[in-house]
Every structure is written in structure tokens, then in C-alpha cells.
Amino acid sequence: MYLRRLTTFLFALLFAALCSGANGSKPKLVVGIIIDQFRYDYLTRFRNDYHGGLDQLLTQGADFTNAFYAQVPTVTAVGHSIFLSGAMPSVSGIVGNAWYDREEGNLVTSVCDWNVKTVGGHDAGETTKCTDASPASPKRMLVSTIGDELRNAHEESKVIGISLKARAAVLPSGHRAAGAYWFDDVTGSFVSSTFYMDQLPGWAKSFNERELPAKYVEQKWEGFPNWSFAAPESKAPYSKIPASPWGNELVEQFTEEAVNGERLGQRGATDLLTVSFSSNDYVGHAVGPDAPEVRDMSIRTDQLLGKLFRLLDQKVGLKNVIIVLSADHGVTSTPARDKETKMPGGYVSVDAAKIVNDALTSRFGSADWIVPGVKPVFISIAPRLAMLRPLNTTFIALRRTRYWRINGFTSRASTRESSWRTASPVISSRSL
């Protein structure tokens, strides 16, 4: 059970240039790094295999072993929005990777924005549905980031965000970034948004013209012959790159080009670079945290960070750089593994939305109670019905019924009022 609690555990490693602190000078560059789904124990389990960037951080930096975020749910968008804003989802408005937006009357993703266009990639065409390929901006994030405040204080500072996932590039870098860049699995290019720019800068175009993903889809993963990265014809050509070691390699190489092309930390101002490595998460989802692939990905990430730090040392001097590293969330072991090791766990095989719908119908009569949502993470009650019916009473009624206890899958039920009492003092209506 202890391992399950680690799901919500985040950690931070801080490598601060002591001499820059000692003489009072400002850092030239701050680098915020997130490794997606990098559970804290990956630092200790594989410690002897780290000789690169993680080793540098662990030996020369500060390791914050009790750095918890108190949020639910522990998913990528929420973790990334908290990392450099400090704001919990009830405050930031980033309450999931996707949610039902009552104003728009639709399911939206954390960074989907129809008022902007993707720059440098393929045009997905007009659609009303938000997907991970939709045009993106930070408009749904209701708070500022460190990068935003840095630019508010120093207009000349530059902020850049990079990841495979749009949300992981956009949310940590914030509203005033010069650019956020992410991976388009149709073209294999790093793309951005008209929110930041009208066209990609020359260095990003040059990187895309090298067409590195075309080489990577053919590459074998040494030691793991069952993995292949060429996508079937029905899928986007580079859709299997994120769940591979090559996804992180692309991010690291693109980051090097950004440091060079934007002259980050080399311009007489304090710049901020956020980099999120997503492939650890994609691979972790495919095989679970106990698989040897996860160890291999961790070791490769350590080496990639070492490579990036060497470039930073060469271009900026590590004594002038502050590096902060965190995960966005952890992961639980797979139910199959739990069964194998005789640990408690398993799949919930009930349709929770149907159970809630049936309970509401039996209590208040027939209606389309449940809004199509992100099952099974959220179950939303239709907003118009919510206004018409005494929902708080409803939830109390539900709590008292057998519906909450079916198969024992519900551990806690809260009313709207109890959430108000126990949650953060500032609660947006979106979180309820």
C-alpha cells in the first residue's frame, strides 16, 4: 500500500551555483527540468547506474526528499502547471489533462485553444473536438509562472519551454514565454503556436529539416528486441516515437539548438528554460514501473542530462546556471504485477458513470445526468440539471446508498460543502 501512496509524490533536485549565490550575482540561466512519471525511488533504485546529469545533481545539488504536492489528480498537465507556478488545480484552473468545460459546453484539453494556430507542423483541419494535436496556448491556466514573473520584473529575460507533449511545454513556461515547442507526430517536426510567433525561428526550422525522426523509426532499442518504432499506416508516421528512447533524445537535441539559437544565458539577462522529458511516461505506461525498460530509460535520461549539462557548462558556465529537476507525478505498479507478487490491487470492472446515473435516476427521476467526460477520471453531472436539482442533497443521498460501496471501489465521498471546507481557501467553480 505504501507504494501506491507514491503516486502523489513529487521530488525536486536543486543544483544551485553556490558561487553565484555567494557573490550576490544573478544566475544567467535557470533550467527547470521535468521527467514525466519519474517516481522518486527511480533515483535510489538505479543510483549506482547514474554517472551523468542525475549523478551531478545528486552529488553537487540539494535533494528535497519531502517535497509533496497535495493535488488530485496526479496527471501530466496538473503536475506541469504546479511545477513553476506553485498553484494547486483549484487555483490554477488546470484540473486535469482534459475536463468538461461548462462555459464551452464541451470536453477540452488543458492547453487546447481554437483562437490560435499551430506553427510549423501539419494542419489538423477544423474540428470542434479538443485533442492532444489541437492548437495550443496557456489560456486555460489562470495563474502566472516563475517565467511570467521573471519577465514582469525584467522584460529583457527570455523564457522557452520544450517537450514532446504540448501541455508539458506550454504550462511550465507560462504566458510570457518567447516560445513553447512540442512534437508533431504527423510531420516529425517540433512545432509551436501563433500564441507565441508567426513562424518558427531559423534554428528550429533547421533542426526540423534534419528529419531526425525518420532515422529514429528504423532504430532498434538494444536489449529490447520486441519494441519497434515504425507506425502502422493507419497511424501518424511518428506516433511510436514518444514511447521510445528516441523521443527524449529528440527533446535533448532540440533543447541544445534552443540554447544556441536563442543564446540563452548568454545575453546579459537571466533567462529561463523549461524542458520536460515525456518518453519515460509513455514507456512507463506501456510496461509499468517494474519493467527493465523503465530502468533503461532512467539510465538513458541520466546520460542525456549529462550531455545537456556539458553544453550548458560550455556555453554559459554551470556556475552561472540554476537547475531544478522534478517529476510531474509518480506511478503505481500494474495490477498484473500486484497479482504476481501477491500484493493487493486489481482492475475496477464497473461502469462508475452508469452507477451514478442509475442512483440519480432512482432518487430524482430519469434524465441525462452524466455529461460525456474523461472516463474514468471525471464524472460530470449535467450543469443545467445541477442548477435545477439540490445536488448537495443528492450526494449525501448517494453516499448513504449502496451505490458508493459496490465492489468496494470507493474510498471516500465528499459533498460540495465539505470540499469547500477542507480544500484550498480559493476555489474556482471549475474545480467543482
Instruction: Please identify every residue annotated as catalytic.
Output: 76
Q: Of the candidates 94, 99, 101, which has an alpha carbon nearest to the alpha carbon of residue 77?
A: 94
CB of 75 to Zn ion, least distance (A): 6
CB of 37 to Zn ion, least distance (A): 5
DSSP state of 15: E
Q: Is 380 in the site for Zn ion (CB under 5 A)?
A: no
The packing angle between helices 76-83 and 166-173, to 10°, is: 20
H/E stretch holding 326:
strand 321-327
Burial category of 72 from C-beta neighbours within 10 Å (exposed 0-12, middle 13-18, buried 19 and up): middle
Q: Which three cell numbers stand for residue 27?
A: 544566475
CB of 428 to Zn ion, least distance (A): 22
Select the span of 94-102, 149-157, 198-206, 279-287 touching Zn ion (CB under 5 A): 279-287
Q: Which is nearer to Zn ion, 70 or 153 (CB)?
A: 70
CB of 327 to Zn ion, least distance (A): 8
Q: Is 283 in the site for Zn ion (CB under 5 A)?
A: no
DSSP state of 235: S
Q: Which is nearer to Zn ion, 76 or 110 (CB)?
A: 76
Q: Is 279 in the site for Zn ion (CB under 5 A)?
A: no
Using alpha carbons, list the distances in angstroms from residue 277 to 74, 203, 239, 269, 356.
Answer: 17, 20, 16, 26, 37
CB of 74 to Zn ion, least distance (A): 8
Q: Which is nearer to Zn ion, 280 or 380 (CB)?
A: 280
CB of 292 to Zn ion, least distance (A): 21
Distance, CA of 373 to CA of 190 (rounded, Å): 29
Select the span of 211-219, 264-272, 281-289, 333-341 touching Zn ion (CB under 5 A): 281-289
Q: Which three cell numbers stand for residue 31?
A: 533550467
Site residues (CB under 5 A) for Zn ion, limited to 64-103 = 76
* Sign of the CA dihedral with 217 first, then 218, 221, and 224 last: positive
> What does the CA dihedral 120, 238, 214, 37 come to, rounded to 10 degrees?
100
CB of 329 to Zn ion, least distance (A): 5
Write out the DSSP string of 264-315.
Answer: TT-SSS-EEEEEEE-HHHHHHHHH-TTSHHHHHHHHHHHHHHHHHHHHHHHH
Q: Which is nearer to Zn ion, 36 or 249 (CB)?
A: 36
Q: Is 148 in the site for Zn ion (CB under 5 A)?
A: no
Q: Which is nearer to Zn ion, 208 or 280 (CB)?
A: 280
Select the span of 10-18, 31-39, 213-221, 339-347 touching Zn ion (CB under 5 A): 31-39
When binding is defined by CB under 5 A, the residue of 184, 256, 281, 302 that contacts Zn ion is 281
Q: Is 252 in the site for Zn ion (CB under 5 A)?
A: no
Select the span of 34-42, 258-266, 293-301, 382-390 touching Zn ion (CB under 5 A): 34-42
* Sign of the CA dihedral with 232 first, then 120, 124, and 108 last: positive
Q: What's phi and psi for 326, nearest 5 deg?
A: -150, 165
Q: What's phi and psi for 355, nearest 5 deg?
A: -60, -45
CB of 240 to Zn ion, least distance (A): 18
Q: Is 113 in the site for Zn ion (CB under 5 A)?
A: no
The interface mask with Zn ion, positions 320-339, x = CB under 5 A, is --------x-----------
Rg from Cα positions in the chain:
22
Distance, CA of 315 to CA of 213 (rounded, Å): 26
Q: Of the candidates 94, 107, 72, 186, which has an alpha carbon nearest to the alpha carbon of residue 145?
A: 94
Q: Is 36 in the site for Zn ion (CB under 5 A)?
A: yes
Select the span of 12-20, 245-253, 278-286, 333-341 touching Zn ion (CB under 5 A): 278-286
Select the span of 28-36, 216-224, 268-276, 299-307 touching Zn ion (CB under 5 A): 28-36
Q: Which is nearer to Zn ion, 243 or 359 (CB)?
A: 243
Q: Which is nearer to Zn ion, 249 or 328 (CB)?
A: 328
Q: Which is nearer to Zn ion, 96 or 201 (CB)?
A: 96
Q: What's phi and psi for 158, nearest 5 deg?
A: -120, 140
CB of 165 to Zn ion, least distance (A): 8
Mention every residue, 6+ apart, whose C-beta is less than 8 A from residue 296: 221, 223, 224, 245
Q: Under rule CB under 5 A, how many of the chain's residues touch Zn ion?
A: 4
Q: Which is nearer to Zn ion, 36 or 257 (CB)?
A: 36
Closest chain position to Zn ion (CB): 76
Distance, CA of 380 to CA of 190 (rounded, Å): 34
Where along the sequence are the contacts to Zn ion (CB under 5 A)? 36, 76, 281, 328
